[in-house]
Amino acid sequence: MTNMRVKNGLLLMVAAASIFLLPGCAQGQTQSQSQGTSSASGTPSASSSDSASTAPSGSSSASGSSTPSSTATTTSGVTLCKAASLTASVDSTGGGAAGSVYMKLILTNSGTESCVLRGFPGVSLVAGPTGDPIGAAAARDDAQPVAEVVLAPGKAGFAQLRYTQAGNYMDCTQVPAAGFRVYPPEDTASLFVPQQQTACSNTNINLLSVQAFQAG
C-alpha cells in the first residue's frame, strides 16, 4: 500500500515537471525560428544595396568615355589655310570715296593641297616686314557673310579692305608705313604685303576695316 502511494507521487511530480518544461521548449524553438528568418531576410537586403552602389559608378564611367574631344574642323573636311602655304597681294584698283581707298586683299594657295579660308584676316599697317604694328588693327566689317572658301592649289580668295586717309583725322600723329601685315583666319603666323601708306600711331583711330573672305 505504501509502495503504491510512492509510485503515484512520483508520477505526479513527473507530470508537473513536463507541464513547466513544454512552454520553455516551445518558446526556445519559436525564438530560434524567428532568428533564422531574420538572418535569411537580411541577406537579399545587403545584396540589393551592393548592386545599387555599383550602378552609378559604371554609368558615370560610360558617360565620361563618350565625351568627344573638341577640334577645329571645317564642314568641307579640308584643312584651314596657313600662312606657310599662302602668298599675299593687294589689288588697289577698286577705287575710293570720301577719303577712303577700297582694295582687295588677296591670298593665293601656293601649296600642293587644297585648303580653306574661313572668316576675317587680321590686318595692320607696319613699318616693315618685321616691324611692329602701327596704330589700330583693322576693324571687322560684317557686310560680307562668313563662308568657307575652298582654295585648290594656285587658286585665290579675297577680302575687301578699306583704308581711310590719315589726313582725314586732325588729331592723327602721322607715321609712314611700308605695308600691311596679314594674318590668315585662325592662324598665328603672318604675311607681309608691301604697300606705301601713311598711318596714324594713335591706337584709337581705325584707318582700316576688312570684310570676311570670299571666292576670288
What pLDDT, in 10s, does the model give residues 86-137?
A: 999 999 887 777 789 999 999 999 999 999 999 999 999 999 999 899 999 9
| Claim to verify: residue 22 and residue 94 sit in the same structural domain | no
C-alpha cell at 216: 576670288
Give domain status of residue 98, yes or no: yes
- Residue type for 174, please? Q
| Claim to verify: residue 26 and residue 109 sit in the same structural domain | no
Using 50, 70 and 90 to split pLDDT, how confident is the model at 5? Answer: low
Cα separations in angstroms, 69 against 57, 65, 80: 22, 10, 19
**Domain count along the chain:** 2
| Claim to verify: residue 25 and residue 94 sit in the same structural domain | no
Compute φ and ψ for 59, nearest 5 degrees. -65, -40
Region 74-87: mean pLDDT is 92
| Claim to verify: residue 99 and residue 40 sit in the same structural domain | no
Choose between 20 and 170: higher pLDDT.
170
**Torsion of the alpha carbons at 188, 194, 197 and 198, rounded to the nearest 10:** 60
Give domain status of residue 53, yes or no: yes
Nearest to 88 by CA among 158, 187, 164: 158
pLDDT mean across residues, the chain:
77
| Claim to verify: residue 126 and residue 208 sit in the same structural domain | yes
- Model confidence over 9-51: pLDDT tens digits? 554 554 444 444 444 444 544 444 444 444 444 444 443 333 3
d(CA 129, CA 139): 21
Q: At residue 207, does pLDDT exceed 50?
A: yes
Using 50, 70 and 90 to split pLDDT, how confident is the model at 70? Answer: very low
Q: Are strands 133-134 and 148-151 parallel, antiparallel or unpaired?
A: unpaired
DSSP letter for 138, please: P
Cα separations in angstroms, 50 against 47, 56, 80: 5, 11, 52
- Give the pTM: 0.65
| Claim to verify: residue 87 and residue 49 sit in the same structural domain | no
Q: Give the range of the structural domain holding residue 127, as residue numbers without chain letter.
A: 83-215
C-alpha cell at 1: 500500500
Which of the given ranges, 45-54, 75-84, 185-194, has the highest pLDDT on average? Answer: 185-194
Give domain status of residue 75, yes or no: no
d(CA 110, CA 84): 9
